[in-house]
Amino acid sequence: MRDPHSAGYVAAKELPDGAIPPVDVDGNFIIGPTHNADPAMSAQNDVPRGTVIEFTMNSADSKIYSGIARDPNTFGTVDPSDPAKLVVTTSHPAPYTRKVAVYVPKQYVPGAAAPFIVGADGPDGLLFTTLDSLIGSIEVPALALSAPIVADIDAGSLREGVGHIRGTAIPGGLGTVGLAGHRDSFFRPLRRIAPGMEITLTGNTGTYHYVVDSTEIVTPDKVHVLYIAQRPALTLITCFPFDYIGPAPRRFIVHAHLLSAAPDRKLIR
């Protein structure tokens, strides 16, 4: 959701949290609770940033639709033979312009197929910053686990995906990659994980395949689970017990080592 006070939005009166507009007053109102900004919507120094290309599109350059406009202060009338139609006699050909912004992820390889998002109402810088924070994805095929990897482990980030623990390696980097997730959402399937299962991380430089070595249950203060291993490693952390009601007293840890980085090393530049 964007700031309702952004340029181009309809002017509206912001009401206090919990208040509703009076039933006998017309107008536009902003209602609902005030939410703190998600950290993922602020640029992070250690998160790779994509490229944003902006340009202006002019309908006069189109061979299909050159544009249309209606004279100021004029309106249509209802078609007497079909009330569902509006008859407008004051429209005429006229060009228009639209600002377009294209976001290119840092890891994009020129010429490769890629998904895209179309956003209305002009360039949205907050959207691009949020996309930067989606630094990868994790999959455990044997558990049907699939989730995005976001750039932090605060409450807002963990609602959006599995969080990258700051200070640990990023997918594809040297050292131990540390990821944390909630036991009642993205990491719920970890209750069934076992040694030998494969874990796939897709990051800024490719796809990395890990194999589970072991699991353990520790207290929250046991930070040794994130120590750098002798070989590239992955540590997954979630709360334990999985069915505990309330703040869980222990942590469930998954240890895995890097099996291979092929065949996606071509992504490294």
DSSP code of residue 111: T
**Mean pLDDT for all residues in the chain:** 84
Statement: residue 141 has pLDDT above 90: yes
Statement: residue 7 has pLDDT above 90: no
Statement: residue 225 has pLDDT above 90: no
pLDDT on residue 177: 92
The C-alpha atoms of residue 257 and residue 212 are separated, in whole angstroms, by 7
Contact between residue 131 and residue 103 where contact means Cβ atoms under 8 Å apart: yes
Helix (H) or strand (E) holding 128: helix 125-133
Long-range contacts at 112-121 (CB < 8 A, ≥ 24 apart): 121/2, 121/8
**Per-residue pLDDT tens for 193-207?**
999 999 999 876 678
DSSP code of residue 4: T
Q: What is the DSSP string of 36-93?
A: PPPGGGS--TTS---EEEEEEEEGGG-SS---EEE-TT---EEETTEEEEEE--SEEE
* Residue in 257, 145, 147, 259 with CA at minimum distance from that of residue 209: 259
For β-strands 198-203 and 206-218, DSSP reports them as: antiparallel
Q: Which residues contact 235 (CB under 8 A, 6 or more apart)?
A: 168, 176, 177, 178, 179, 225, 226, 253, 254, 255, 256
pLDDT on residue 204: 61
- The larger pLDDT score, comparing residue 22 to residue 206, is at 22
The residues facing 58 across adjacent strands are 97
Question: Which range, 25-29, 133-137, 209-213, 262-266, has the best average confidence (pLDDT)?
Answer: 209-213
pLDDT on residue 115: 62
Statement: residue 245 has pLDDT above 70: yes
What is the number of other CB atoms lying within 10 angstroms of the CB of residue 101? 15
pTM value?
Answer: 0.60
Domain ranges of the chain: 1-35, 135-267
Statement: residue 108 has pLDDT above 50: yes
The C-alpha atoms of residue 205 and residue 261 are separated, in whole angstroms, by 10
Residue 138: exposed, middle, or buried by beta-carbon count in 10 A (0-12, 13-18, 19+)? Answer: buried
Pick the CATH number of 135-267 from 2.60.40.10, 1.10.3720.10, 2.40.260.10, 1.10.150.20: 2.40.260.10
The tokens of 188 are what?
């719920």
